[in-house]
Amino acid sequence: MLRLTSSRQRPWLILLIALFCLMAAQGIGSSLFARIGYLLLAVLGLSLAWAWLGAVRVHLTRELHTPRVAVGERISELINISSTVPWSVIEFCDDAPVVHLSNGFVTTLTRLPVCREWYSIPIQRGYLGLGPSRLIVSDPFGLFQFERQFAPMHHVIVHPAFLPMAPLHIGRSLEWGRQQAGRQRSPQATTIMAVREYRTGDARNRIHWRTTAKRGIPMIKEQTHEPGAQIWIIYDATPLPPQTAMLHEQGIAIAATRAHQWLAAGHAVGLVAYGAQPTVLPPARGAAQRMLILDALAMLVCEGATPLARVIAQIDWHGQRQLTICVITHDCQPDWVAMFGYATPVQSERLAVLLTAQGDAPPAVIQALHHAQITTTVVEV
């Protein structure tokens, strides 16, 4: 999109002077005034053509260095501006909904492109478009300005920020998992994470014989102890009134923080969130699962139509025993508590995080959670 801005008054002043000179030349018959008038009109025409061509032939690219960030972290980009029209004066402006650490800049283009580092900080989670961008191009005389708009060229996934929360101990399910691991295998149950070349001092019982036979050199199994806990995070993504919508942002930040802590501790973590689109991630371990959960929470649109009680009932708990199930909800009605206790496996460890507006005390649901022996944390926003 290209448009002529009307912020400059100098072209009109020069046009009036040129017309005055031409009228004076006609009145007194002076060729000097006629030449001055024609010269001023030529400068106006040249400036207009220069600015228009500069805006048409300018090129803008934005190279993204960080495709995923968290709220409050820095986004790094490289801005490249080039044009086939030399000596155009260009101002770069960014209209993305972020906090800019770099100010807009003005540069005069030559034949060589201009490259600048550009930094910004996102203020909300989601799928953020970097733009739109605007280039304001003017001629060397500064008489005319054309503004050209560019649509967002890249998108970045903004994860929710982690909160400074103390790690939450997983008790019964982890203890049961260790007991089961001890019964089925040895107490030192392990999982193979990777295979590498043999180093001096490695134990011979860790040789991976199949890979050794294929490569012809000794290969060693990289192992880690296998934790017994499997954790489900169930997030209530039903909509809220606009005045309490910040409860969702706080709840999603809590879910991201707990998932990060539990995955770092070696547990298998899954996520269920019925927002505008249902999200079900089975429990798994590792960095890949962490990225999947954070991406899902970043993209979660809290406009779900499925009540929390129905979400809990629709999960297939068949064959899953001794789980830790953490429900994060803003629902202060006690009806979902009964379903939480009835539909989930009997020997599961149940946790609840209740989000409330400041000063809003929900005694009925607190009493129901206490009666059901569900460990509850009340978070006031």
Quick: pLDDT tens for 46-81: 999 999 999 999 999 999 988 899 999 999 999 999
- 234 or 30, which is more confident? 234
Confidence band (pLDDT; 50, 70, 90) for 31? Answer: confident
Would the pLDDT of 293 be above 90? yes
Q: What is the pLDDT of residue 215?
A: 86
311-327 residue pLDDT tens: 999 888 776 666 889 99
pLDDT in tens, 86-98: 888 999 999 888 8
**Confidence check: pLDDT of 381 > 70:** yes
Position 124 scores a pLDDT of: 92
**Residue range 120-133: mean pLDDT, rounded:** 91
User: How far apart (Å, rounded) are the C-alpha atoms in residues 147 and 91?
Assistant: 9
Widest CA span in the chain: 114
pLDDT of residue 77: 92
> Of 34-43, 199-208, 230-239, which range is least confident?
199-208
Handedness of CA 16, 21, 22, 23 (dihedral sign): positive
pLDDT score recorded for residue 191:
47
Domains of the chain listed by start with CATH number: 1-159 (2.60.40.10), 190-225 (no CATH), 230-380 (3.40.50.410)
pLDDT above 70: residue 277? yes
- Looking at residue 361, its pLDDT comes to 58
- Whole-model pTM? 0.76
- pLDDT-wise least confident of 24-38, 111-125, 216-230, 279-293: 216-230
State how far the Cα of 270 lies from the Cα of 285, in Å rounded to an integer: 9
What secondary structure, in 3-state letters, does 232-269 show?
Answer: EEEECCCCCCHHHCHHHHHHHHHHHHHHHHHHHCCCEE
**pLDDT reported for residue 189:** 42
Across the chain, mean pLDDT equals 84
341 pLDDT tier (thresholds 50, 70, 90): confident
Give yes or no for residue 244 having a pLDDT over 60.
yes
Neighbours of 372 (CB within 10 A): 16
pLDDT tens for residues 201-230? 677 777 888 888 888 888 887 654 444 578
Q: Where are the alpha helices (DSSP H) in the chain?
A: 10-28, 31-56, 172-184, 209-215, 246-264, 287-299, 308-314, 335-343, 363-371
Any idea which of 223-237, 285-299, 342-356 has the lowest mean pLDDT?
Answer: 223-237
pLDDT confidence band for 182 (50 / 70 / 90)? very low
pLDDT at 2: 72
Say yes or no to pLDDT of 354 above 60. yes
DSSP codes, 190-248: EEEEEEEE--TT--GGGB-HHHHHHHSS-EEEEEEE----EEEEEE------GGGTHHH
Residue 8: band (very low, low, confident or very high) from pLDDT cuts 50, 70, 90? low
Instruction: Supply the DSSP symbol for 373.
Output: T
